[in-house]
Amino acid sequence: MKKYFVLFIVFVMAVASFSCITAPVCITASTTPIYGKMNVEKLGKTSGSSRAWSILGLWMIGRPDIGKAIDEALRAKNATALTDVRCYETWKWFLFFSTTTVYVEGEAVRVSEGR
pLDDT of 1-37, one tens digit each?
788 888 888 887 777 777 788 888 888 877 777 776 6
Domain that holds residue 102: 20-112
Please tell me the predicted confidence (pLDDT) of residue 42.
87
Please tell me the predicted confidence (pLDDT) of residue 47.
95
Residue 107 belongs to some domain of the structure: yes
Residue 34 belongs to some domain of the structure: yes
Residue 3 belongs to some domain of the structure: no
Residue 104 belongs to some domain of the structure: yes
Q: What is the mean pLDDT of residues 54-68?
A: 88
| Count of structural domains, the chain | 1
The torsion angle over the Cα atoms of residues 68, 46, 30 and 41, rounded to 10 degrees, is 120
Q: Is 67 helix (H, G, I), strand (E, B) or coil?
A: helix
What CATH number should be reported for the domain holding residue 58? Answer: 3.30.110
36-40, 55-59, 88-92, range with greatest mean pLDDT: 88-92
Burial tier of 110 (Cβ tally within 10 Å: 0-12, 13-18, 19+) = middle
CB 81 within 8 A of CB 102: no
Residue 41 belongs to some domain of the structure: yes
